[in-house]
Amino acid sequence: MLQKTKLESLCSDAKFQTSDDFYREFKYKVTKNMGVTLGNSLRRTLFSQIPGNAIRYVLINGLNHEFSAISGVKESAQELIMNLRKIVFKGGATFARATLNVSRAGEVFASDVKCMSYSIVNENLYLCTLEEEASLKIELYVERGVGIILSNEVSEHEYDSEAIICDSFFNPILTVNFQITSIENNFKEENLSLFVQTNGAVSPDEAMDQAIDIWRQEMSNISERMITAAQDDVPEKQLRILSDTLYYKISEIQGMTTRILNCIKSLNIRYVGELVQFTQKELLEKPNFGENSLNQLVELLGNIGLTLGMDVTGWKAPVEDAEDDMLIR
């Protein structure tokens, strides 16, 4: 998994070239041969995971079908709805209601749409033309979401019977491309340029920040799941055996020599659980405990899946009468 600082560099070290407010070229250095991996991953994340706002359905006064004609409106209902769906709503509200209420002849633009929760980015967007003495009243229901929701995926019972359900495309990203270039006399790094264009609901900078956070969180989740899976794979029997092993008496360890037994007995240690709490350094500081004895002990403990310096918090040696069975005569 990439380091956090490496991911953050995608924004903190970025250089921008601006052609308009909704376009950015991000440039940064990455490890050699990692450019394509990073570029593809960020591109797919930008196209699929950045939240945006879209019209979910509309209510047009006096109309209950998108193929019907609207009195006094030059465009058909279908053309009008297509134009309405091009409106770019900016804001973080989960759900909002917008209205279009026009009673005048002439052209109608997105600036005529009123919404308390969202601002409209493309106010100059043409919607339709009204004839003299015509009026148009529309309610638009806008939601915040991710990806795409098609109208045929929505149950008709979820909304008003007169509602015209729309195909909703939430993603605010229009285009994403990337380019890899080599760095002269640098065999460890390469340049990755990422070109991002949005519809204005979010800036390219904000979109990139979100993509990095989403991707980093996914990598973190994968790592946590791998650790959890590895822990879950340990059989319950194996865990029970490990616990039982701590209750072995030192003399029960197969291969234990008289010399090591006597060294351990001098420390008043009877059980394996007491022994493994000592570190190698602590044992070497004890009288008559040399490196050869220590190496043999480490090998014997390894044979039963244990090591010195283990944390056995909560383990207690059994209480019983003193029994000098450790010393082999």
Mean pLDDT over 232-261 rounds to 67
Position 157 scores a pLDDT of 59
pLDDT at 202 over 90: yes
Between residues 309 and 320, which one has the greater pLDDT?
309
Q: So what's the pLDDT on residue 322?
A: 44
Beta strand ranges found along the chain (DSSP E): 23-31, 52-60, 89-90, 95-102, 106-109, 113-115, 119-120, 126-130, 136-145, 148-149, 164-165, 168-169, 173-183, 186-198
User: Distance between CA atoms of 286 and 264, rounded to whole angstroms?
Assistant: 9
Q: Tell me if 50 sits within 8 A of 206, measured CB to CB.
A: no
Where residue 328 falls among pLDDT bands split at 50, 70, 90? very low
User: Please, what are the domains in the chain?
Assistant: 4-50+173-223 (3.30.1360.10), 52-169 (2.170.120.12), 241-329 (1.10.150.20)
Report percent pLDDT > 90 for the chain.
Answer: 32
- pLDDT value of residue 250: 78
Stretch 186-203: mean pLDDT: 91
262-276: per-residue pLDDT in tens? 887 878 888 887 888
Give me the amino acid identity at 45.
T
